[in-house]
Amino acid sequence: QKPPPPPPGEASDVSMLNASGGIDPAAAGMVGGGQIVAVDAQVANGQLVPAGYYMPPAAQMSEHELQNLINALRIEREPQDILERLSEITASKQDEDIRRRVVEAGAIPLLVGFLSPNWLSNIMPSTKQLLVFRWSLQTLTHLTRTRDYRDTVREAGLLPKLVALLLLKKLPTSVQQALLQCLINVTAGNKPNQVMLQEEGVPLLLARLMDQVLKEVDPDEAAHAVFRFLVLALNAVLTADMPYEEKSDVVQAGGLAALVTALGPAHIDAHVDAVQSINKLCSSNIGLCTALREHNGVTPLVFLLDWDHATPAVVKSAIICLMNCSRRDVNVRDDICSEMGITPIVALMDRGQERIIVEKATWTLNNLATGSAANQEAVRAAGGVKATLAVLEWARDAPTMKAALATIIHLAEDPETGDEVLAAGGIPVLVKHAKGEVSNAHKDIALLALNKLAVHSPAVGAKVQELTGEELWSAVQVAVLPGAAASAVPANRI
């Protein structure tokens, strides 16, 4: 069959061939970034793919040229060179259009097919087979930067083949990294893919691989890229609602110990994912919080809060993890305090911090102050009362205001807190919240905060009465937790 006519202004495929059968660069009009792909001259779907077919840069590639490249994958017995080229042209994070064109040309089923079980039947894959694995995985990684294609690859049967590859032993580092990167991209933010891989036991498998890697190398070896990608992959596959038994299996397989190791300074690139993984594993169950303490995980989390090299993303992840675990486990609260964690937490309540960090730091302070006179005194000594009042003055979002008011309620159990609030000018601030002048969302909580303070400090009671008038003062006297029946939560009558 005759090859299709070239686009206007371009030489025909045949005229590009020199006497030896190779490509004549001048005739081909080669420009920077172009590449000769060595494939056999065969017919695929009616399209002639000549030997030494010249592939232009991705931005200059026509639909005809792209389709020829995909067709070549269908017929080439050793497709590693074509796959490498496909990986290159899809590598740009910004070029959404080239990914769409590659997918529409039918690339995904072909790429998944190169990872089929017959390829995996050999105990020791050949060098060429390993290259096929690597470039196929890398191209799939690039394509799944587009979220919709994460569903497409699942429907094409990719996920079981990723699991099969994970089970292969002694893969070269380059192939291992390509595999883990593909796993990360395919599962990121895609709940169906996460659930399917959880059902296949991938979190447990990753935990075992992490434990194995740490046994083979120095745990402080920062350059161990495979370990980093294992941490990132585990975070991508984990979800907070994964069944407790499966989380416990990950912990027992060495996954939690490996994640705590990943919090060290040598693994700075993995910190965010390690902290987020710990949060997903441990924060929903007191038994798993206990496991975190047994693995000495609280200390490095506290350390990250004010470490000079910690990024805002690391700090945010660490404070969220500490907030969740300290809410669940009273012993975690004591560990935070004993590790001198109150001062950095108070520092995170500064107005210059990201709003979500301020909110979570305030809730963490609230957790520390709940039911512990020693912790309440420690929080007050670290400036926690003034910091909380400052948040109440400038915060205008409901979650942060609620966190600050709840913190005042628990700190008020310390008799000296009322006098400190009074001295800091905090009573007028609380009265504004109780009147709904700032927001109507948490008036009841503000009334209860004033009630708790007035119970332990007559001076506070007098100041509140002076500022509120008889009607609001009466509401302060009988304030209860919002939604709680009076019989269930007795009022603190003053």
pLDDT at 420 over 50: yes
- Best mean pLDDT range from 14-23, 91-100, 161-170, 238-247: 238-247
Distances in Å between the Cα of 253 and the Cα atoms of 204, 218, 246, 288, 386 are 7, 19, 11, 14, 44
Asked if residue 208 lies in contact with residue 252, where contact means CB atoms within 8 angstroms, the answer is: no
Residue with tokens 């003034």: 386
Per-residue pLDDT, 93: 83
Tell me what percent of the residues of the chain surpass a pLDDT of 90.
62
Q: Residue 35 pairs with which residues in a beta bridge?
A: 55
Instruction: Give the residue from 31, 102, 95 showing the smallest Cα distance to 68.
Output: 102
List alpha helices for 24-168, DSSP H.
25-28, 63-75, 80-89, 96-104, 107-113, 117-120, 127-143, 148-155, 158-167
pLDDT at 52 over 50: no
Per-residue pLDDT, 473: 85
Look at the chain and report how many structural domains it folds into: 1
The tens digit of pLDDT for each residue in 19-43 reads: 333 333 333 333 333 343 333 333 3
pLDDT at 60 over 80: no
Structure tokens at 185: 């991209």
pLDDT at 277 over 60: yes
pLDDT, averaged across the chain: 84
* DSSP-based three-state secondary structure for 117: helix
The tens digit of pLDDT for each residue in 226-261 reads: 899 999 999 999 999 999 999 999 999 999 999 999
Per-residue pLDDT, 58: 59
Residue 391 carries which side chain, given as an amino acid letter? V
Question: Per residue in 184-213, is it b (16+ CB within 10 Å) or e — as a string?
Answer: bbbbbebeebbebbbebebbbbbbbbbbeb
| Average pLDDT of span 116-140 | 79
The DSSP H or E segment spanning 47 is strand 47-49
Asked if residue 224 lies in contact with residue 176, where contact means CB atoms within 8 angstroms, the answer is: no
Q: Which residue has the higher pLDDT, 356 or 129?
A: 356
| Average pLDDT of span 6-16 | 38
Asked if residue 141 lies in contact with residue 179, where contact means CB atoms within 8 angstroms, the answer is: no
Q: Is residue 141 part of a domain?
A: yes
Per-residue pLDDT, 29: 33
Residue with tokens 């964690």: 341
Task: Find the range with the poorest average confidence among 175-184, 245-254, 483-492.
Answer: 483-492
CATH number of domain containing 107: 1.25.10.10
CA angle 408, 409, 415 (to 5 degrees): 85
Q: Indicate the DSSP class of residue 55.
A: E
Per-residue pLDDT, 121: 52
| Average pLDDT of span 205-224 | 77
The tens digit of pLDDT for each residue in 316-329 reads: 999 999 999 999 99
* DSSP-based three-state secondary structure for 401: helix
pLDDT at 488 over 50: no
Domain residue limits at 151: 44-215
| Average pLDDT of span 194-199 | 97
Q: Which residue has the higher pLDDT, 209 or 44?
A: 209
Burial classification of residue 396, based on how many CB atoms lie within 10 Å of its CB (0-12 exposed, 13-18 middle, 19 or more buried): exposed
pLDDT at 303 over 90: yes
Residue with tokens 């920062």: 222
Q: Is residue 49 part of a domain?
A: yes
Task: Find the range with the poorest average confidence among 110-119, 125-134, 485-494.
Answer: 485-494
Q: Is residue 429 part of a domain?
A: no
The band of 69, judged by pLDDT with boundaries at 50, 70 and 90, is confident
Question: What backbone phi and psi angles, to 5 degrees, belong to 395?
Answer: -70, 140
Task: Find the range with the poorest average confidence among 98-107, 119-128, 210-219.
Answer: 119-128
Q: Is residue 61 part of a domain?
A: yes
Q: Which residue has the higher pLDDT, 22 or 178?
A: 178
- Cα within 13 Å of Cα(103), Cβ side: 20
CA angle 88, 57, 43 (to 5 degrees): 85
Q: Is residue 176 part of a domain?
A: yes
- Best mean pLDDT range from 31-35, 65-69, 186-190: 186-190
Task: Find the range with the poorest average confidence among 295-304, 319-328, 370-379, 454-463.
Answer: 454-463
Distances in Å between the Cα of 334 and the Cα atoms of 159, 284, 320 are 43, 18, 17
Q: Is residue 485 part of a domain?
A: no
Structure tokens at 57: 């840069």
The band of 120, judged by pLDDT with boundaries at 50, 70 and 90, is low
Task: Find the range with the poorest average confidence among 51-60, 89-98, 161-170.
Answer: 51-60
Q: Is residue 402 part of a domain?
A: no
Task: Find the range with the poorest average confidence among 11-20, 295-304, 323-332.
Answer: 11-20
Strand duo 53-55 + 35-37: pairing = antiparallel
Q: Is residue 145 part of a domain?
A: yes
Structure tokens at 51: 């030997």
